[in-house]
Amino acid sequence: MKLKNLIECGGNIGETEITGITCDSRQIKPGYAFVCIKGTKSDGHDYAEAAVKSGAAAIICERDLKLDCQVITDNTHAAYADMCAAWFGNPADSLRLFGVTGTNGKTSVTYMLKKIFEKAGYKVGLIGTIQNMIGDEVIAAHNTTPNAYELNSLFALMKAKGCAVVIMEVSSHALDQLRVYRLDFEVAMFTNLTQDHLDYHITMENYLAAKKKLFRMCRTAVINSDDSYAKELMEGLDCKIVTYSTGNDSTYSAKAINYRPASVEYEFVSDTDICHIKVATGGKFTVYNSLCAAVCAVEAGISITTAAEALAELNGVKGRAESVPTGRDFTIIIDYAHTPDGLKNILSTFRECKKNRLIVVFGCGGDRDKTKRPIMGSIAEHFADYVIVTSDNPRTEDPGEIIKDILAGMKNSAVPVKVIENRTEAIKFAVSIAEKDDIIVLAGKGHETYQILGTGTIHLDEREIVAEALEELK
């Protein structure tokens, strides 16, 4: 493909035949266009000359690098997104896109929506944290929202395999880095905003501003009006706005909510519809997630009856309030809760239905927002009857120092607190002390089957560890 068909440029360079596109200089092959992107740790402009030596036919940059094959543009993040879309024939233009953003709930909402659209007869593509999917086909996911090249390659594959609808999680990082630049979302959804990713965004204002970008790229915004940031998020939006809540002042609402340990039921209410909804996952967060998905479906033209039938058939999402079979008289739950709000939600949910003790095993990620660590420690001691503090994904940080940060929020704990740095040992200890009717919550890892250490990534599947622990009990 000629360079002029990928990016606006004149002269002889526009006639250059391009064999591929990348923003990673290590992937350069002869004839490639190399897009210089400035990241948080490195700047692609520093690798431009090396890219030329490796065979790059064009360098896309934001400043004059004194190279014969350079094309200067205002924003290389935007240019990369446009070039990748053009490279794959702008596949997103032929798809109905539905995006969900927020701190918590994105994954659950996308799986619920996928089930609803499939119930309505569509073949659906899904892009998200756990995995990417084309119908029932699973494709590994590396980021919540892939980079522009991978994203457009997925769109092209989904289009080729007959998908009409794509449902995707849209992270704040992806929005800030323009990975979804110029996409047209039929409906965009907002679940909530609580403290997370401040190592990247620095302030909650910046975090909100990144999320808000999605709603300048959609035709209909579906907003959780119970969230404290909802009003600010909606200010200045030009798209159609509908709201959902568990109160009265919203377009759609959940009424007569009935919470059970393993399910929720409520009445879906709007000006035109009333429908009973039941979902086989407990917790207030399930009400919000399912309500968000149902509202999006209705706004997309699917009947609420179809949405309710689909939600009733959903068996849950891996790593989201996932119940692990034990064959014993106690319960073990695996959940991805890795933020203060996420931990509070999962623990408060099971505290309401516990018959004996609520035990939590959790840690905090390294190289991430440190300020949330003592907050999560305080939440754990407030809601749980027994707290086991352990390691999560420490990355390059000392796990012991991360644990100290957590314990700083637990100085006046009235409940037992035990520190076991090794996560496998911590889980096995929790199982070993379990009594009749106890609920053990393993928080933070969720769907992940690995642990990121300073020395590299190791295999760690909490389901396997639980099975080993149960076997050792015999």
> Is the CB of residue 247 less than 8 Å from the CB of residue 253?
yes
Half-sphere exposure of 441 (CA within 13 A, CB side): 31
- Looking at residue 25, what is its pLDDT? 92
The answer regarding whether domain 91-313 maps to CATH 3.90.420.10 reads no
pTM above 0.75, yes or no: yes
- Dihedral of CA atoms 128, 129, 132, 135 in degrees, nearest 10, equals -70
Q: Domain 322-473 falls in which CATH fold?
A: Protein-Tyrosine Phosphatase; Chain A (3.90.190)
pLDDT along the chain (474 residues), means of 10: 93 94 95 93 94 97 96 96 97 98 92 97 93 92 86 97 97 91 97 76 84 96 96 96 94 94 90 95 91 98 98 88 90 92 90 92 95 96 97 96 96 90 98 96 94 95 96 88
Q: How far is CA 40 from the centre of its chain?
A: 20
d(CA 189, CA 208): 14
Total residue length of the chain: 474
- Stated as kind and residue range, the H or E segment containing 331 is strand 331-335
Q: What is the pLDDT of residue 412?
A: 75
The Cα 464–Cα 98 span in angstroms is 35
Direct distance between the N- and C-terminal alpha carbons of the chain, in angstroms, rounded to an integer: 64
Delimit the domains of the chain by residue range. Answer: 3-87, 91-313, 322-473
Contact 208, 196 (CB under 8 A): no
Query: 152-174 burial by CB neighbour count: b if 16+ within 10 A, else e?
Result: bbbbbbbbeeebebbbbbbbbbb
| Cβ neighbours around 301 below 10 Å, total | 8
pLDDT value, residue 200: 67
Query: Pairing relation of β-strands 124-127 and 132-134?
Result: antiparallel
CATH superfamily of 3-87: MurE/MurF, N-terminal domain (3.40.1390.10)
Residue 17 near residue 31, CB atoms below 8 Å? yes
